[in-house]
Amino acid sequence: MQNNNPNPNQNQIQIELTEDVAQGTYSNLVVIAHSASEFIFDFIRLVPGIPKAKVKNRIIMTPDNAKRLLFALQENIQKYEEAAKNNFQNQKNFGDILPPVGMPGQA
């Protein structure tokens, strides 16, 4: 296949990851809302025994990018499960995890 792009680096995006962002933010709950023009993801950290939880991060995306995120998550979960089958004999398969009550596929 021939590359007609005279500068192959022209389409590459350089991503900068600062030290504070690289540390990450732990979240064990996400609340998702949407409108006609955006999806809003509120990432929350719940601590057992504490009734109040704060939103640690809010990400806002277009519907197109939210769907791309869905596809990327599906692809990465599939890769993780394939690797887990080979490396971790007793690792729980994501397929064994049920969606929360009230989600599609739940009674």
Confidence at residue 92, expressed as pLDDT on a 0 to 100 scale: 61
Q: Which pTM value belongs to this model? A: 0.71
- Average pLDDT on 77-101 reads 72
Cβ-count burial 65-92 (b if 16+ within 10 Å, e if not):
ebeeeeeeeeeeeeeeeeeeeeeeeeee
Q: What percent of the chain has pLDDT over 70?
A: 73
Confidence of residue 107 (pLDDT cuts 50, 70, 90): very low
Helix, coil or strand: residue 95: helix
Residue 1 pLDDT more than 60? no
Over range 43-47, report the average pLDDT: 95
Beta-strand relationship, 55-61 and 29-34 = unpaired
